[in-house]
């Protein structure tokens, strides 16, 4: 089978979150199983730095958006782990410091930037890589199927190609005013509730969902939740109407990158059979965060967080429980993250109040993320909603016991034998779960068993890739 994926992130070329981990690993897992796989990505400044060996394979692809408006892009190709990455080289849109926006907000031309990505992907299909399946990820790739099925309907190039859309996070919907239609070369009729119109605007994500042949999201729990008003972000009705083509496939993780036995970023290696290296990782983590690492501190439970600072991730609950937690329990906390300033400030204030026990690093730093996974005793993820979540799965492999809210992928991947869960989105429920974990911690036998239970869980990409493969085959057979 030939599969072309379209996305706005893929590790190691461009990453702000879990989407990049998925696009960094799933294509390679499919290729290892014998499929031919391509990925279309923007040639961001960060991608250019990491893909120096990519070769230009198409110099001037002209993308017409109207009789008077066109853009030129180049396509560069890099073969990596059996996958062909096609980078859309359009400096006016992608040669920028960030992927989506900077401190003063989103880039104002994001509607055009990602329309260009989608049209360029169809150019790749026309000239370089004609797949059986086009698999689009999130709103940035949402216009691929709509272009194919409206503007290019009847073009034999695209005949018979099936579209899969994966929703990695329904909270990001690519919403723009209806005036954008003229700029992105889609017909006015797209402003229609049966197509792209969404509460008076346009939604790229909705368009991708409406025009897809099959729809997936990244856990079974989340597939159910997004059909309810509480988690549907205004799209629950649409998603209920697509229920027959909507499935949940839990993300795998890349154990060649996240493995305590081989991790190059941590102070020591360890495994379920020999956990002794973990204490060196804990000491190193404490030092990395500028906290004391004497014997008494090493005995004390250490909670780790790696997260975007966003309301999705439950920081309002953390804000409510932090002071009582620090006052009532002997515990330390290290936090790595970037995002909304209000949460960063809240965490910094906590670190000022408890300087020997709380420390925050507001940066995006993969090496430190590995250290947090390896050196913490518990990993905290009290998300309001969580489509899949990867950090809790990494935590399992590092013997770092997750404390999570039972939602979406967190609920699907953590059970009572591997972690602590709470259901109600409230500070008291979170505090209760944290107390249960802290009460269990001194019982070394029970705790070590929990660590080992988690370490033995297998979330490698093999089974998820097989589920995607079965879905693709069912579409082609239709
Ligand atoms: P989301 O995609 O919603 O941000 P996930 O848990 O699915 O959450 O994936 C987050 C990914 O981003 C993980 O690989 C995590 O290690 C990484 N990550 C998040 N914040 C940081 C950070 N500040 N530094 C390094 N890696 C980070």
How far from chain centre, in Å, is Cα 246?
A: 19
Domain-by-domain residue ranges, the chain?
2-252+462-477, 277-458
CA pair distance 363, 448, nearest whole angstrom: 31
291 close to 372: Cβ distance less than 8 angstroms = no
Q: What is the pLDDT of residue 364?
A: 95
For the stretch 99-116, pLDDT in tens is: 999 988 999 999 999 999
The pLDDT-based confidence of 168 (bands split at 50, 70, 90) is very high
Query: What is the CB < 6 Å shell around ligand 1?
Result: 17-18, 21, 306-308, 336-338, 364-366, 369, 388-391
Determine the pLDDT at residue 477: 82
Give me ligand 1 centre to Cα 128, in Å: 33
Mutational test site, ligand 1, from 258, 391, 459, max ligand atoms within 8 Å of CB:
391
Q: What pLDDT shows up at residue 108?
A: 97
Instruction: Judge whether 2-252+462-477 and 277-458 match in fold.
Output: yes
Q: Does pLDDT of 269 surpass 80?
A: yes
The whole-number average pLDDT for the span 172-196 is 97
- For 341-372, the pLDDT digits (tens) are 999 999 999 999 999 999 999 999 999 999 99
To the nearest whole number, what is the mean pLDDT of the chain?
97
Query: Is the preceding peptide bond at 223 cis, omega within 30 degrees of 0?
Result: no
Predicted pLDDT of residue 214: 98
Compute CA distances 305 → 14, 268, 283, 361, whole Å.
22, 20, 16, 10
With 90 as the cut, is the pLDDT of residue 478 above it?
Answer: no
Residue 434 pLDDT class (50, 70, 90 cuts): very high
Res 204 pLDDT > 80: yes
Task: With beta carbons less than 8 A apart as the criterion, state whether 204 and 216 touch.
Answer: no
- The C-alpha atoms of residue 411 and residue 405 are separated, in whole angstroms, by 7
Q: How confident is the model at residue 432 (pLDDT cuts 50, 70, 90)?
A: very high
> Is 421 within 8 Å of 405 (Cβ atoms)?
yes
CATH superfamily of 2-252+462-477: Glycogen Phosphorylase B; (3.40.50.2000)
- Helix residue spans in 87-215 (DSSP H): 91-94, 110-127, 144-149, 180-184, 204-211
- Cα distance between residue 26 and residue 24, in whole Å: 6
What pLDDT is attached to residue 135? 98
Measured at the CA of 349, the angle between CA 343 and CA 355, to 5 degrees, comes to: 130
| Of 307, 311, 344, 396, best ligand 1 pocket probe by most atoms within 8 Å of the beta carbon | 307
pLDDT in tens, 276-308: 999 999 999 999 999 999 999 999 999 999 999
Q: Is 351 helix (H, G, I), strand (E, B) or coil?
A: helix
Based on C-alpha coordinates, what's the Rg of the chain?
Answer: 23
3-state secondary structure at position 337 = strand
Span 28-41, average pLDDT = 97
Return the CATH number of 277-458, one of 3.40.50.2000, 3.40.50.11540, 3.40.190.10, 3.40.50.300: 3.40.50.2000
């Amino acid at each position: 089978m030939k599969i072309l994926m379209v996305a706005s992130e893929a590790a190691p070329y461009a990453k702000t979150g879990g989407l990049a981990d998925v696009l960094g690993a799933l294509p390679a897992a499919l290729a290892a199983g014998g499929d031919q796989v391509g990925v279309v990505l923007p040639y961001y400044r960060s991608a250019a730095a990491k893909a120096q060996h990519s070769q230009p394979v198409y110099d001037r692809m002209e993308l017409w958006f109207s009789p008077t408006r066109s853009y030129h892009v180049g396509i560069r190709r890099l073969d990596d782990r059996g996958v062909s990455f096609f980078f859309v080289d359009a400096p006016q849109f992608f040669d920028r410091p960030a992927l989506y926006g900077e401190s003063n907000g989103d880039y104002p031309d994001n509607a055009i930037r990602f329309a260009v990505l989608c049209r360029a992907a169809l150019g790749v299909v026309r000239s370089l890589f004609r797949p059986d399946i086009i698999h689009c990820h999130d709103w940035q790739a949402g216009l691929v199927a709509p272009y194919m099925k409206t503007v290019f309907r009847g073009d034999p190039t695209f005949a018979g190609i099936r579209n899969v859309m994966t929703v990695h996070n329904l909270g990001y919907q690519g919403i723009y005013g209806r005036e954008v239609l003229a700029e992105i070369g889609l017909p006015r009729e797209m402003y229609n509730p049966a197509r792209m119109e969404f509460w008076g605007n346009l939604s790229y994500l909705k368009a991708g969902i409406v025009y897809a042949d099959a729809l997936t999201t990244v856990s079974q729990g989340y597939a159910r939740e997004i059909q309810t008003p509480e988690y549907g972000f205004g799209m629950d009705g649409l998603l209920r109407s697509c229920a027959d083509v909507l499935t949940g496939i839990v993300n795998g993780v890349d154990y060649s990158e996240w493995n305590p036995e081989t991790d190059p970023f941590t102070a020591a290696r360890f495994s379920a059979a020999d956990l002794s290296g973990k204490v060196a990782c804990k000491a190193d983590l404490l030092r990395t965060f500028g906290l004391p690492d004497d014997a008494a501190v090493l005995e004390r439970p250490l909670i780790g967080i790696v997260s975007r600072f966003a309301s999705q991730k439950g920081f309002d609950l953390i804000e409510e429980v932090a002071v009582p937690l620090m006052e009532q329990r002997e515990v330390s906390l290290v936090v790595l993250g970037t995002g909304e300033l209000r949460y960063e400030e809240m965490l910094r204030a906590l670190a000022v109040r408890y300087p020997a026990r709380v420390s925050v690093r507001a940066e995006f730093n993969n090496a430190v993320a590995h250290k947090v996974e390896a050196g913490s005793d518990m990993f905290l993820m009290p998300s309001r909603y969580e489509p899949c979540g990867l950090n809790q799965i990494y935590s399992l492999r590092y013997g770092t016991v997750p404390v999570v809210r039972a939602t979406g992928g967190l609920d699907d991947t953590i059970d009572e034998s591997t972690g602590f869960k709470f259901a109600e989105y409230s500070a008291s429920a979170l505090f209760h779960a944290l107390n249960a974990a802290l009460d269990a911690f001194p019982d070394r036998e029970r705790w070590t068993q929990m660590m080992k239970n988690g370490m033995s869980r297998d979330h490698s990409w093999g089974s998820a890739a097989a589920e995607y493969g079965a879905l693709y085959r069912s579409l082609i057979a239709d």
